[in-house]
């Protein structure tokens, strides 16, 4: 399938009266002439895009009334030249969106982790810090207590999701 469309010609892309008059392959800059004779250049590498005025009112090619020794008049534009910051503004918006997305992802991941609150054990019970690989049955077996008494002393303890670093109270025997 061809990429050509009816909008790929200079007539469709350029303002009325503007015509392309040259191309510099070394700098990749296209040169255009306006209806009043002023010369415009494209940004390097852009065939169309934003044009910058180079000079004003050059005579048309083949104009015999023009004196060849007269230098072309330079453009006196009131617009200050655009800086690199102006050209990078769309990237700023993109980085802002990516930064906000990453901030949301980290906030969501950080909020998903459950904070372990310190547990204070009652009289006749001993605190035990949960290590990786521990289970309720293994803790009860190691300390010589039944699983039922361990669960009674630790109300709300979920044996399927023991928090590593959390504390369980071991009932006294």
| pLDDT on residue 96 | 92
Query: At residue 4, does pLDDT exceed 70?
Result: no
Give pLDDT, residue 69: 52
What is the pLDDT of the chain when averaged over all its residues? 80
Distance CA 11, CA 101 (A): 42
Q: What is the distance between the alpha carbons of residues 32 and 53, in angstroms, rounded to a whole number?
A: 9
Mean predicted confidence (pLDDT) in 147-156 = 89
Here the tokens at position 121 are 């054990």
Q: What is the pTM of this model?
A: 0.35
Give the other-Cβ count within 10 Å of 36's Cβ. 9
């Amino acid at each position: 399938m061809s990429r050509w469309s009816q909008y790929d010609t200079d007539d469709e892309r350029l303002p009325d009266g503007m015509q392309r008059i040259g191309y510099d392959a070394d700098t990749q800059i296209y040169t255009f002439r306006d209806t009043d004779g002023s010369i415009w250049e494209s940004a390097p590498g852009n065939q169309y895009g934003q044009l910058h005025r180079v000079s004003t009112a050059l005579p048309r090619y083949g104009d015999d009334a023009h004196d060849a020794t007269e230098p072309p008049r330079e453009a006196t534009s009131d617009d200050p030249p655009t800086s690199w910051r102006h050209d990078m503004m769309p990237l700023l918006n993109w980085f802002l969106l990516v930064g906000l997305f990453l901030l949301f992802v980290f906030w969501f991941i950080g909020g998903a982790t459950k904070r372990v609150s310190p547990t204070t054990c009652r009289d006749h019970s001993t605190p035990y810090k949960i290590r990786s690989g521990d289970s309720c049955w293994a803790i009860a077996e190691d300390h010589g207590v039944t699983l039922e008494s361990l669960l009674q002393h630790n109300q709300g303890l979920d044996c399927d999701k023991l928090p590593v670093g959390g504390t369980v109270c071991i009932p006294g025997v």
